[in-house]
Amino acid sequence: MFQTLLIANRGEIAVRIMRTARRMGVRTIAVYSDADAKAAHVAAADGAINIGPAPAAESYLRGDAILEAARQAGAEAIHPGYGFLSENAEFAEACAKAGIVFVGPPPAAIRAMGLKDRAKALMQEAGVAVVPGYMGDDQAPGHLAKEAARIGYPVLIKAVAGGGGKGMRRVDEAGGFAAALDGAKRESKAAFGDDRVLIEKFVSTPRHIEMQVFADSHGNAVHLFERDCSLQRRHQKVIEEAPAPGMHAAMRETMGAMAVTAAIAVGYVGAGTVEFIVDASAGLKADKFWFMEMNTRLQVEHPVTEAITGLDLVEWQLRVAAGEKLPKAQDEIVLHGHAMEARLYAEDPQNGFLPSIGKLERLHLPDGEPGIRVDAGVREGDVVSQFYDPMIAKVIAHSDTREAAAAALAGGLRHACIAGVHTNNAFLIRALSHPDFVAGTFDTGFIAAHQDDLIPAADIPHFALEAAADFVMREHWRVSPDPWDNNDGFRLEGSTAQEMALIVNEKRVAIALPPPPPGVDVEAMRLANGDIAIMHGGETFVVTPYDPFAAAESAGQSADRIVTPMPGKIVQVLVKTGEAVKRGQPLAVLEAMKMEHTLSAPADAQVESVDVAQGDQVSEGAVILRFAKPQSEAA
């Protein structure tokens, strides 16, 4: 076994790999960018080396810098985690030339499965069924449009390289194809340096089921059962589970054999995932699933497989990379119970799931609760930055049944307390508790179909307002018992109706003082910006104490401009000065957190000025454009 392992990644996956390596007696080396100097994965490692500035392209994606770090540390092996360089064949080759073991498959296997069109052609040759579509070299927009018409709408446009939903667009009719193709190509080019796409038939009731496979360099290959990753938004997984609901033995055997065949066909070594699209319109059937792609790395959702098998997949990776045989044969791998994983993100469901950047002023996760595992890459006080994926943690529950696992995971998330950034925690709780999800009647369209249930109106319950008022009142009392120092409505001539004003959704709300006890357990804290966060049941409600001076200053201001919701890069400006725009019309496209976000007109208006250009790097709150005042106001 290796003496020293360098982890060429960051966040929760780097911390998770270190945990296994430490148990195996392997010394770990972290790499970090300037933005990550005080990150959790740096603190968890036995040693750490800086590899460059904050942008990933100048640090975590620099194979030469990572190899130099490995040489400095005397590392015999590099574990790439997932993302970044994990599926980069050139980096795997560079490791081999440097005499360093790449903990992953051979470069040839990465190349074979790294491009979706070639992978599908290879699978067809091996006798594996693939989704109908177009995978040709002719990338002319006109030709692609003709192929889409031949396949029949709806179709999926998918980037030939990469994954994670980037460079992917669903198109329901011919009229929307050109714009979708342009966006998919642009996003794919930015994410993977390759704008080629393929087109697939869109399955109307799709389930996303994948098989975990493992192979060694001695000719052995096995599967470790399936995972269901159908709960998605924008083609990105939200909740994963194992085994798949409704899966029966015959279909599992067929799908497992097909996945192993796929791995053998490319000379695979190490951990990999073979992904299938399943037509679930009439339940799961052994002849209604097709190969989509193979991910030649460890998956984000690997903990659910570990939970149902009792195996450590990172340990298997390290043993296989060190030249050992697979620890178990197929008939020795047994499935126990049911596991679910929720991806906890710093993002705002109320605002289109836009990433939320800022300091984690409060972070309590349910780690250590019975049946709950938490894989986190941040700690309380850490900052969610603009440079990387905004995942806070993965929370995993394992129990005897699917219903029990869902209830345990929802219960664990209800005990989470998070403040400082928006999160999807309450959204996850609602999804896990939704009757259709609990019943197992869902597909990849579940979130879109139940959006009103999963993302209700952003109302703050009265108990949270009373708790905020109570916190402010007690905070002032702790500072000074002198009534002249308090803003509680004290009157010299006697006590009149006392109240405290709070700002909720830009409206002033009065709360009588003293407020009654909230009736539920809450945690309250003042944030760095002066707001009050009330945490209860996995939800965080934020209110602002009323400041009459600030209110006077902002009075009369109107929405006369479009500003950026987060830092990023302007990749498209879609309007010109003087142009009349309609409500909902796209105005500009911002690339941030590896995804594109379209900024649209809030109402019918005329563009007075455009303040950015394509290619500009912008900060949060930067003005994109301004609208002219209506004639009635101008007069």
Which of the residues are catalytic? 297
- Alpha-helical segments (H) within 266-328: 302-309, 313-321
Q: What does the alpha-carbon distance between residue 455 and residue 292 come to, in Å, rounded to a whole number? A: 30
Give the tokens for residue 357: 């950047």
* Interatomic CA distance for residues 129 and 204, integer angstroms: 18
Give the separation between CA 446 and CA 373, rounded to whole angstroms. Answer: 25
Burial 249-276 (b: 16+ CB within 10 A, else e): eebbeebbebbbbbbebbebbbbbbbbb
Name the amino acid, one letter, at 577.
Answer: T
Provide CB contacts within 8 A for 23, sequence distance 6+. 315
CA angle, residues 156, 159, 160, in degrees to nearest 5: 115
* Integer CA distances (angstroms), 519 to 413, 474, 538, in order: 21, 17, 16
SS3 165: coil
Task: Locate all alpha helices (DSSP H) within 371-527, ordered by sequence.
Answer: 402-414, 425-433, 435-439, 446-449, 451-454, 462-479
Reading phi first (left if > 0) and then psi (alpha if -120 to 50, else beta), residue 467 is in: alpha
Tokens of 433: 């508790």
Classify 586 as helix, strand or coil: strand
Host H or E run for residue 272: strand 270-279
At 236, the amino acid letter reads Q
For residue 338, the cross-strand partners are: 399
- Report the distance separating Cα 509 and Cα 102, nearest Å: 59
3-state secondary structure of 437: helix
What is the spatial distance between Cα 39 and Cα 32, in angstroms, rounded to a whole number?
8
- 154 prior amide bond cis, ω within 30: yes
Q: How deeply is 465 buried, as exposed, middle or buried, from its count of CB atoms within 10 A (0-12, 13-18, 19+)?
A: buried
Query: CB-based contacts of 268: which residues, under 8 Å, 6+ apart?
Result: 105, 106, 109, 213, 215, 221, 296
**Residue 79's closest CA among 56, 43, 105?**
105
Q: How many CB atoms lie within 10 A of CB 387?
A: 23
Neighbours of 352 (CB within 10 A): 12
> Which of 509, 154, 501, 128 is CA-nearest to residue 294?
128
Q: In which element (H, E) is residue 181 found?
A: helix 177-192
Could you tell me if residue 538 is left (phi over 0), alpha (psi between -120 and 50 degrees) or otherwise beta?
A: left
Q: Are 544 and 530 in contact (CB under 8 A)?
A: yes
Strands 77-79 and 133-134, sheet pairing: unpaired
